[in-house]
Amino acid sequence: MRKQKNVRDSYVRMTELVLPNDTNTLHNLMGGRMMHWMDIVSAIAAQKHSNRIVVTASVDNVSFRESIKLGNVITLEAQVTRAFSTSMEVHITVWAEDIPSGTKVKSNEAYFTFVALDDAGKPLPVPEAMPETEEEKEKYAGALRRRQLRLILAGRMKPNDATELKSLFDIKD
């Protein structure tokens, strides 16, 4: 039987300080640096779930709502939402905190997908991911829909086979 692990056990929290080398000429955090931190925190969550080396297979839409200033403290939280066969979807939330003014805003949210690899670099089955809270169950349910969308965009699935998306838009065959 396939091993089961609670999604909560993959939770990772990472804190960074925005330093001059992380910023652009406007003294705002560069998007690429943020993506780098998001990749690291979510890869660790996927490793915790699979107990394997993982690679990033895809990055969903990431939008930058607010600019983040030099000196802000960035907190990144990541947790596996669902495991498929060899791949895992990870949800990431990013918070930016200005400690002197006492403000903290949610600056980004995104989903990254990772694949666990064996020692020969081949995709390897991962444990099933079990949601417990209502929020975890909601993200677990939505993961199938998001997976179908990203596989279509990657040219790995025919739109006609995307049953979850078709039911979402009430499309009949």
Ligand X SMILES: CC(C)(COP(=O)(O)OP(=O)(O)OC[C@H]1O[C@@H](n2cnc3c(N)ncnc32)[C@H](O)[C@@H]1OP(=O)(O)O)[C@@H](O)C(=O)NCCC(=O)NCCS
**Euclidean distance between CA atoms 107 and 98, whole angstroms:** 12
Instruction: Give 43's contacts (C-beta < 8 A, 6+ positions apart).
Output: 54, 56, 112, 114
Asked if residue 123 binds ligand X (CB under 6 A), the reply is yes
The least CB distance from residue 161 to ligand X, in Å, is 12
Site for ligand X in 86-115 (CB under 6 A): 86-87, 113, 115
User: Nearer to ligand X by C-beta: 50 or 87?
Assistant: 87
Asked if 47 interacts with ligand X (CB under 6 A), we say: no
| Single residue of 12, 14, 43, 57 touching ligand X by CB under 6 A | 57
Please state the length of the chain: 173
Note whether 17 binds ligand X by CB under 6 A. Answer: no
Separation between Cα atoms, residue 110 and residue 89, nearest integer Å: 10
What token pair was written down for 150? 């990203």
Least spacing, CB of residue 13 vs ligand X, in Å: 23
CB 56 within 8 A of CB 112: yes
Bridge partner list, 119: none
Nearer to ligand X, 105 or 154 (CB): 154
Positions that interact with ligand X (CB under 6 A): 55-58, 84-87, 113, 115, 123, 150-151, 154, 156
